């Protein structure tokens, strides 16, 4: 074949390729804030490992702060006996009245299910836990844990399925996280005083190190560059895809998916815990979930 034909073929095969999704880079986007020697970034910043042993856990945080958008992370949790370990992936602002959106993964003995724990803090107040069993083995493969956050709602997604929604209920006096920028964090730590069967199962240190694997970090979010971002990130400008009407609430099919997850895999809902709140339920609990 003539040289130009080969070139043409190479060119055509390039064109036929799907556009590549460009993910964030751990090396450039994050810094270790705890236990750096226990963690590593490799594969040109595409992958990261967080480790826990009897001396330390480890954690990272983004350099940038965000206000609204989609924060995506693919995580493969500690496999085997992970009892007593907690792996966390969350967004948080700082200060005593901080806002926070959490995914936490509570480990378990081999063959027993992880608990996927979610929470949201507004103005420093949390106590809004919802917990789920995964419908898949979260230790066998990477799964897509994404937080969608806009002025109308927060949605927690796993592999594209919404598992939880926190709606903006400022109209009935419930603060919504819409004024404080957040960094993205991930960490693994020893929580064997409470995590597994309420603290009954302790970490088996002979199995250390415990390793959580992260990849495809993708913050498609509004970068906080000072107070001016407050209006810039929340405005209906076309660049702010997260404020488009389609993201104001779940679609009809997403509502079905949410219901499927909640009917089959939800194990704790703070809005149903009347004992805990002594009958004085948080205000948002009076509203339908979606
Ligand atoms: C991960 O899930 C989010 C939310 O559903 C979605 O927007 C994103 O495209 C997913 N990522 C991949 C690589 O499929
Ligand atoms: C661990 O397994 C036990 C028994 O299957 C289960 O009750 C518990 O919810 C699981 N998860 C955690 C984090 O304790």
pLDDT by residue, tens only, the chain of 290 residues: 455 555 544 444 444 444 344 568 999 999 999 998 888 999 999 999 999 999 999 999 999 999 999 999 999 999 999 999 999 999 999 999 999 999 999 999 999 999 999 999 999 999 999 999 999 999 999 999 999 999 999 999 999 999 999 999 999 999 999 999 999 999 999 999 999 999 999 999 999 999 999 999 999 999 999 888 889 999 999 889 999 999 999 999 999 999 999 999 999 999 999 999 998 999 999 998 76
Q: Which residues pair with 53 in a beta bridge?
A: none
State how far the Cα of 244 lies from the Cα of 168, in Å rounded to an integer. 15
Alpha carbons 290 and 284: distance in angstroms, whole number: 11
If you count them, how many residues does the chain have?
290
pLDDT digits (tens, 9 = 90+) for 125-165: 999 999 999 999 999 999 999 999 999 999 999 999 999 99
Element (H, E) at 252: helix 252-265
Quote the DSSP letter at residue 224. P
Residue 103 is inside which H or E element, if any?
Answer: strand 100-106
Measured from CB, residues less than 6 Å from any atom of ligand 1 are: 70, 72, 144, 146, 157, 160
* Set 72, 104, 130, 284: catalytic member: 104
Find where tokens 């390729």 sit. 17
Three-state DSSP at 6 gives helix
CATH for 21-286 (3.40.50.2300, 1.10.287.70, 2.60.120.200, 2.102.10.10): 2.60.120.200
Determine whether 170 is an active site residue: no
Residue 249 has what pLDDT?
95
Contact present, 158 and 145 (Cβ < 8 Å): yes
CA of 20, nearest ligand number? 1
The tokens 């009897």 sit on which residue? 54
Ramachandran angles phi, psi of 123, nearest 5°: 50, 40
The response to whether residue 45 sits with its C-beta less than 6 Å from ligand 2 reads no
| Residue tagged 């693994």 (tokens) | 188
Beta bridge partners of 100: 92, 121
């Amino acid at each position: 074949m003539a040289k130009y034909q080969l070139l043409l073929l190479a060119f055509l095969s390039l064109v036929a390729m799907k556009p590549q999704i460009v993910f964030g880079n751990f090396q450039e986007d994050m810094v270790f804030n705890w236990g750096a020697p226990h963690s590593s970034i490799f594969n040109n910043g595409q992958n990261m490992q967080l480790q826990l042993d009897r001396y330390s856990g480890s954690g990272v945080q983004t350099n940038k702060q965000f206000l609204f958008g989609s924060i995506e992370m693919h995580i493969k949790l500690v496999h085997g006996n992970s009892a007593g370990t907690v792996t966390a992936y969350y967004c948080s602002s700082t200060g005593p009245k901080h806002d926070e959106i959490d995914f936490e993964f509570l480990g378990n003995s081999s063959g027993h299910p992880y608990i996927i724990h979610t929470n949201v803090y507004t103005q420093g107040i949390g106590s809004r836990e919802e917990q789920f069993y995964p419908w898949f083995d979260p230790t066998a493969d990477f799964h897509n844990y994404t937080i969608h956050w806009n002025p109308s709602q927060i949605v927690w997604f796993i592999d594209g399925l919404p598992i939880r929604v926190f709606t903006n209920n400022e109209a009935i006096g419930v603060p919504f996280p819409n004024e404080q920028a957040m960094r993205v964090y991930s960490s693994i730590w020893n929580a064997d005083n409470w995590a597994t069967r309420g603290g009954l199962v302790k970490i088996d240190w002979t199995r250390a190190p415990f390793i959580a694997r992260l990849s495809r970090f993708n913050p498609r979010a509004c970068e906080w560059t000072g107070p001016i971002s407050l209006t810039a990130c929340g405005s209906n400008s076309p660049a702010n895809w997260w404020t488009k009407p389609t993201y104001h609430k779940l679609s009809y099919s997403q509502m079905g998916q949410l219901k499927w997850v909640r009917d089959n895999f939800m194990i704790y809902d703070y809005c149903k815990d009347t004992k805990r709140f002594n009958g004085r339920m948080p205000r948002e609990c009076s509203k339908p979930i979606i």
